[in-house]
Copies of this chain bind each other. A is one copy, B any other.
Amino acid sequence: MRARIEDVAKVAGVSPKTVSRVLNNERNVREDTRQRILEAVRSLDYRPHPSARSLAANRSFLVALLYDNPSPSYMMEVQDGVLEACDAQRYSMMLQPLDATSPHFVEQVGKLISERRLDGLILTPPISDHADLLACLREWGVPFACVAPRDRQCAGVVLDERRAACEMVMHLASLGHRRIGHIIGHPDHGASSWRLDGYRDGLEQSGLRYDHRLVMQGRFSFDSGVVATRAMLSLASPPTAIFAANDDMAAGVIWAASEAGLAVPRDLSVCGFDDTPMSRQIWPSLTTIHQPCRDMGRIAATQLLRTIRDGEGAMVYAKFALCLRGSTGRVPERPRRDAPAGH
């Protein structure tokens, strides 16, 4: 049978309550007592019983990570980061896939919270932008932290995606591109508008005019990238570079370009956003923007646990990085086929 707190107390010659104090890092325990107790814990290989702790303390020490169908690699990394932070603070994480468009969405989350006695939630896009849910959580007093939310008035983590997109477009411009297309992400994701704004910033700072014909609506999916690209390539004056709002759509761009017989980057430069593993596994490898997803998961969890403990978590900025790879190149010297000169 496993040792219980009472056994530890007996060995250390103190009361169970004092052992509990040490295990929970409470103040007001003399240093020598603490050492004696830790020694007893070690000698008995004592492990506190999570359920007993939860029951007595009236907290579950459990947080849930809510997600709705994002890219698996993104989610997996965020997950690992969250787990890392939770483990370090003796918290557990549970996962909950959800359908944010369901009419019972908020209700389901409420049920989850009360069923599992959750101490807090971590919301990932697009759930982190679900205004109804955020309002309810605030009303219920349930602590939460958001990953990349549109509204930054909460605990969590974001990237300056607008700046990142801007820099990417400026990079394209520096390669000589003057007709740079953009494929917008899913309309429900805050990221889509930041990236679009960044695209406009980048054009402006490069002295290029915004042309609405070069901007297509996508949905963050590979297929939507293909569709948008076919449309853009059939323009009278097609772009020489396309900046897709994520890597999946960028893969769609490369696909559609290959389909149309264009070589990337010779005939068309392509870049994405997210630095998914896939971006390095396609030919040519994709120029994109790296998000430190694992760090972001860790940060979000840390801010959530701070909120739970002290009632105050912050919105932390994570750093992005441009990954310049094979899918972008200098614009060709002579025009391609939309030749204005020559006739």
Inter-subunit contact A255/B283 (CB<8 Å): yes
How far apart are the CA atoms of A77 and B79 in the complex, in Å? 14
Inter-subunit contact B282/A283 (CB<8 Å): yes
How far apart are the CA atoms of A277 and B60 in the complex, in Å? 36
> Which residue of B77, B97, B117, B255 is within 8 Å of A49 (Cβ)?
B117
Q: A102 near B: Cβ within 8 Å?
A: no
How far apart are the CA atoms of A172 and B257 in the complex, in Å? 27
Q: Quick one: which of A276-320 are within 8 Å of B by CB?
A: 277-278, 280-285
Chain A interface, >50% SS class: helix
Closest residue on chain B to residue A96 by CB atoms: B83
Q: Quick one: which of A250-277 are within 8 Å of B by CB?
A: 251-252, 254-255, 258-259, 277
Q: A206 near B: Cβ within 8 Å?
A: no
Closest residue on chain B to residue A248 by CB atoms: B281
> Which residue of B51, B92, B282 is within 8 Å of A282 (Cβ)?
B282
Q: A210 near B: Cβ within 8 Å?
A: no
A→B interface (CB under 8 Å)? 2, 47, 49-52, 54-55, 60, 72-73, 75-77, 79-80, 83, 92-97, 114-117, 222, 248, 251-252, 254-255, 258-259, 277-278, 280-285
26 contacts between A and B (CB under 8 A): A2-B114, A47-B114, A47-B115, A50-B54, A50-B60, A50-B115, A51-B52, A52-B55, A72-B72, A72-B73, A72-B75, A72-B76, A72-B277, A75-B76, A79-B95, A92-B94, A93-B94, A222-B277, A251-B282, A255-B282, A255-B283, A255-B285, A278-B281, A278-B282, A282-B282, A283-B283
